[in-house]
Each structure stands twice: as structure tokens, then as C-alpha cells.
Structure 1
Amino acid sequence: MPRVSIEVDGVKYDDDVEPRLLLAHYLRDRLGKVGTPIGCDTSNCGACTVLLDGMSVKSCSVLTVQADGQDVTTIEGLGDGQGLHPLQRAFHQEHALQCGYCTPGMIMAALDLLRENPDPSDEEVREGLEGNLCRCTGYQNIVRAVRRAAGDLRPDPAQQEATR
């Protein structure tokens, strides 16, 4: 069996894994990261989205051996231990969830989107999240939440000026 070394949410794991073990199953079954739901097992819904070295991936379409030597961030790895991450807080404040099943994947995909585009328009948010499906909402609150978090994550211009 191949041996992998993966850092997940800041903790390093060294494990022997089956070559065909999907990252989603490794995270949930081996590591107990149940905040990463498995929605479809076909990479259509995006519920299982995590960050792999900072980029969003659908963990049901990545083999664990492909993540060897890389950093994985799950929904449980967000925040600072003192409170919610700005995206988590914005999803709550904007009522951007109903059943919540898609929410972890939406938040992780949105985090990657905001890394690439810190000030997206509504259309850019919709385009950036098009691989993540929600069966409960009309997406408008999700778009509002991402835009709100974008504003919260942007540095305050006064602070930027003070550090120059």
C-alpha cells in the first residue's frame, strides 16, 4: 500500500492508503472530517469541495495518493478557533443556506474564488460557484454572502495606509 503524508487543517498525517481511496473518504472515514459531505460521488454537486494547496477541488474526484505532500483545508479548518471565518459568518448573516448540505462546499469554493478575485460582481460569483449545486435556495443569498465576505476580507484602506 502506498504511504501518504498529508497536512489536513494544520495537522500532519502519515498513513498507508489503498491506491484507489478517494480523498473524500479518507477525510471522512479515516480522519473524522465529517464536515466534508459526500453528495453525489460523481463530482457533479460540489458538496465535498476542499482546498488542496489553496485551490478548490472536489474531494470525491481526487485520489488520496494525489494529495500526498500537499495541504488540505476542510470547512473544519477555517476560522481561528475563536469564531467563524468571515465566509461562514456571512453565510449565516445572509441566510445563505437552508438544509446546509451544500454549504461547506460552497464556502470552500467561494474562498478560492475570493483568493483569485477579491471583489467579484454578482455575475462573477455565480460563475465562480457554477460547479457547486444547491437544491434548496435560489442562490441569491449565497451570492450576497460571498459579496459580503469579500468586503469583510478586504483590508481596511486606513490600515493599509498606516502600514506604509
Structure 2
Amino acid sequence: MSTVLIRALFTSLVAPAGPALPPVISRSPLVLFHVDSGGCEACGLEVEALIHGNYGLAEAGVSFADTPRTADMLLVTGAYSRMMMPVVQAAWEAMPQPKGLLAVGACALDGGPFGKNYAMLGGLESHASVDCAIPGCPPTPHAVLEGIVSLLSPASVVRPVAATEE
């Protein structure tokens, strides 16, 4: 796990940020609340690298909240487990309308290597309507930012979605 952390920190501080993102004209910043629901933590570390690295979140019109009560979208990383289901649902229910759901990484999308078993519920896509799915194991911070920025384009609309229980 420490090698993954070192790689994420090194990538965010030293590696080039990738191609420039198109400028975003937005009414207000998109505020995200991040829940890491478990797994190998690689996707969560990439999101942390995005938050604390030099990827231009503010310039892209994106910020992260400390509480779901002020967030526009819920960003979930990690496998969707029975233990974390109440946490994800509580965060979802605390968010104001309209709200959206982002699934980052293979585990959040379809369960990744964990699949569906007694402890794992599979991915979020089988339980809720996901507004933005960012694949990868793990996706780079730049890929995560590109997915988030795609939500800010004039063509995209954040629609209310409902998380469903199994």
C-alpha cells in the first residue's frame, strides 16, 4: 500500500498534468463529496492526488466538500460492500436536490476483482443510476478530472438519481 501512496504523490507533484482541459464556463463551482467504500484504496489515492496536487481543480470549476450537505455530487471510489452501503446511502440522503452520482474506478463501477459475494454488492451501476462513470484500475487524476469536467459542459445536465437497496 505504501508504494501506491508514493506513486500517487509522485505523480501529482512531479509528473506532467496531461493535456490542458478546455475552459469551463459554469454558473457556480461543482461541489463533490468523496466516499471511499473500500477495496485496495488505489482509486481513493488518485482522487486525493487530484485534490491535493497541481491539477487545476479551481480553474476547472470543481471543489470538494467536507460534508455531503453542501455537495452537488457524490463521488464514490472502491467496491460497494454491505458494510459501506449505509454510509454511501446516508451521504446520498444528506445531499440537497438536485444531486448526482459519480463512480470512479473498476471497483465502484462493477465490483472490479471483488465481484458479488456475501460481503460485496457488486458495482454501483447495478444499484443506482450513475451520472458519470470513470473506468480504470485506478484511473489517473487527470482522467478523473476530465470525467468531472465533462459534467460541467453545457450539454450535460445533473439529474436527480435514487440509490436503491438490494
Q: TM-score, normalised by structure 2?
A: 0.27
Point out the structure with max Rg over C-alpha: 1
Q: TM-score, normalised by structure 1?
A: 0.27
